[in-house]
Structure 1
Amino acid sequence: MSISIKPITGSQVRIIIKPQPAETKTASGLFIPDTAKEKPQQGEVVAVGNDLKDEIATVKVGDKVLYGKYSGTELKWEGEDYLIMREADILAVIG
């Protein structure tokens, strides 16, 4: 997936993530109402800002990542939800 926005790199490399949809059902099959759904904490990297002189991005487009519950800034672009955050806010790359 590619999007037509690119994060601007300030003092740290910035990343744009497409959050994974929130769970709608528990493992036992119960449906979770919208008011009780938790914010997703994983998603896919869809854009990476430019590398800095002293810092090279360690994630790349397509990586599945885990991030903190309240990390990043939510944005809506062309009807889709995204998060933009510093690479330092990413906790781990999955798989």
Structure 2
Amino acid sequence: MSIRPLGDRVVIKRVETEEVTRGGIVLAGTSKEKPQEAVVIAAGPGTAEVKMEVQVGDKIIFSKFAGTEVKVDGQEYMILKQDEILAVIE
């Protein structure tokens, strides 16, 4: 199954990073914040008013409370509007 976003929406997958404290302790997944970095998996066609500025494969930073989390075939994704994306990492 695949996800095809509509309009100016994008499907992203969070980039999982291992977080280590100053003392060298690796934090477990439940005790740390979810990352705000992700990779664009799919992008909609845009709208007459909104030209899509991101494309598949772009690494992005998005708003902390953005989007909707979905689970497809056991994988977790987020669907959000392009205006909730803050920056593209180059």
Same fold (TM over 0.5): yes
Q: 1:15 to 1:32 in 2, by over 3 A?
A: same
- Whether the aligned pair in 2 keeps the contact of 1:22 and 1:39 (CA below 8 Å) is no
Q: Show CA shifts across 1:6-56 (max 9, x none).
A: 1122xxx00100111153433652121333210110010010012211221
> Structure 2 length as normaliser, TM-score?
0.88
The match for 1:43 is 38
Gaps of at least 5 residues in structure 2 are none
Report what 2:3 is aligned to.
Answer: 5
Give aligned pairs, total.
Answer: 90
TM-score, with structure 1 as normaliser: 0.84
Q: Distance in 2 between matches of 1:81 and 1:55?
A: 26
Q: Kindly indicate whether the alpha-carbon contact (under 8 Å) linking 1:23 and 1:37 is maintained by their aligned counterparts in 2.
A: no
Residue in 1 that maps onto 2:28? 33
CA RMSD between the two structures = 1.7
Structure 1: gaps spanning 5 or more residues: none
